[in-house]
Amino acid sequence: MPEFNAPLRDMRFVLHEVFQGPALWARLPALADAVDAETADAILEEAAKITGQLIAPLNRSGDEEGVGFEAGAVTTPEGFKEAWQTYRDGGWVGLAGNPAYGGMGMPKMLAVQFEEMLYAANCSFSLYSALSAGCCLAIDAHASEALKATYLPRIYSGEWAGTMCLTEPHAGTDLGIIRSKAEPQADGSYAISGTKIFITGGDQDLTENIVHLVLAKLPDAPAGPKGISLFLVPKRMVNADGSLGQTNAVSCGSVEHKMGIKASATCVMNFDGAIGYLVGEENRGLAAMFTMMNYERLSIGIQGIGCAEASYQNAAAYARDRLQSRAASGPQAKDKIADPIIVHPDVRRMLLTMRALTEGGRAFATYVGQQLDISKYGDDPAECDSAQRLVALLTPVAKAFFTDTGLESCVLGQQVFGGHGYIREWGQEQLVRDVRIAQIYEGTNGIQALDLLGRKVVADGGQSLAIFAREIRAFCETAAPFSEPLLQALAQLESISQWLCQQAVKDPNAVGAASVEYLHVFGYVAYAYMWSRMAATAHENRAQDPDFYQAKLATAAFYFERLLPRVLSLNASIRAGSTSLYTLSAEQF
């Protein structure tokens, strides 16, 4: 049975050494008294125990059992309820939540490390928590004080859970055409009617109540996305004293039978005049929901990193143990009938690719978390503005690139196992199935790419990209390792960005034709920046822990020599333009 052990040494490396989290928290007033290096390490240690010892052992059994559905009620697999009770008792849902309502108030830099552990241990279990945390963010940012006081403490505590209800049978990416309706009631509430699909955790038996955030339209709402409002719809009504009352008119119609994440309930939810409460302003619901969606997009990106880390750990262990053939340079394990497959170049290529992408992703997730902390807690307006713009620019990259490379890594991990990778008991095929959804939900990666190139680069003329580029160049001025290839790759990114801004003026298809390749160029350049920063830290501290830091430098060299050159072919594809995409008529496909 595969095991998961949180990579604590690597996490502390990026959190404390590369990005100097404790120094940042010390200068942010809201965090200075809440967390320091010792507190962060204690949280990570405890998180490693709960994910590795409690949650990971339920991963395969949960996948094989799946969720149950009978008489409109969902049941989670054996062991999930007990694990959730322990999980909620530890306060893990509210790790980064607002302390005013019972959250722990920890920085996002720390929270992303915990989320990676969760996804690596058990994707299905993690999703119940991730949706609850995101739901809290939207309520905290946009709901009335009464709603916040009623709902946030109970979701942070894990007694209740949250969901996000956007998609309808006919409306996915184009939410402007949703049909769910909200009728105003005399008491100030609303009657919500409609059907939502693909609702993660729409029903389950882990919590006493479920709080749905639902997009719907008022009777006189403008057409399109400008006519969408956001409503809080509880599964069970809440009495004035905080106790639970009658069941609301919301029900689960069915659960989906999926390729992966089988222990996560993906529900069709029916709202039949359910009582709901407006969150934020009328017809401004999509903007309010994006508070949650952007959180979920980063979180789902981290799902890619977590699955890749789990796959890497088991593939590396297998490669050190599996004996097949002799090394090209001659026998290495002379006392055995064959050498471990880790001596073979192609196996090393696969493992190093997994390692370089996963560690680069971990660093980039921590970097985005750092920008989120600065934008939320900083007291310098200019610094906060810069951080906010970087978050907006980098969130689609994080979601899409983490999950694209996460699937690549999981497939490579499966390949290292050979035939055993195709067999259920080794765990690799489940990781491939579980991580695959991450490229699809929370906005497909194609949509993320359009958002990045169309809205975040072309629409602002590359101004946000310039902020990121200036930071990279300033870092390279410190004579950091691998500065030359990093600057060359950055120049290519800037050049292709400028070219695309020009092309978009004369070719309406230019952005859509180039967006996915563009996002990958951006991702590889961002990872190059991360690897240069990690290499600089490793080089500076190499005498303290030679084995650890030498491995970091070697992996960085592999990234720059074998993975960063992928931007060359991507650039060539982008400059080919959109013409070849439209030479066939629709009937010729």
**Which residues are marked as active site?**
442
Buried b / exposed e along 287-311 (16+ C-beta atoms within 10 A): ebbebbbbbbbbbbbbbbbbbbbbb
Q: How far apart are CA 447 and CA 430, in angstroms?
A: 26
Tell me the C-alpha distance between 308 and 432, whole Å. Answer: 9
Q: What are the C-alpha distances in Å from 432 to residues 37, 152, 271, 349? A: 35, 35, 34, 19
Q: How far apart are CA 177 and CA 228, in angstroms?
A: 9
H-only helix segments in 322-427: 345-377, 381-416
At 530 the three-state DSSP class reads helix
**Residue 88 near residue 157 (C-beta atoms within 8 A):** yes
Residues 353 and 565: their CA atoms lie apart, in Å, by 13
Residues 6+ apart with CB under 8 A from 212: 162, 163, 165, 199, 202, 232, 233, 234, 235, 250, 269
Nearest of 94, 69, 19, 80 to residue 362 by alpha carbon: 19
Contacting residues for 72 by C-beta, under 8 A, at least 6 apart: 203, 251, 252, 253
- Angle at 386 (CA atoms; ends 380, 388), nearest 5 degrees: 100
Structure tokens at 145: 């004080």
CA torsion angle for 14, 17, 20, 25 (degrees, to 10)? 80
- Calculate the CA dihedral of residues 492, 496, 497, 502 and round it to 10 degrees: 150
Contacts of residue 190, defined as CB under 8 A and 6 or more positions apart, other chains included, come to: 182, 183, 184, 216, 231, 275, 276, 277, 278
From CA 235, how far away is CA 252, in angstroms rounded? Answer: 10
β-bridge partners, 165: 214
Measure the CA dihedral 115/121/126/127, to 10°: 110
Q: At CA 498, angle to CA 494 and CA 502, rounded to 5? A: 165
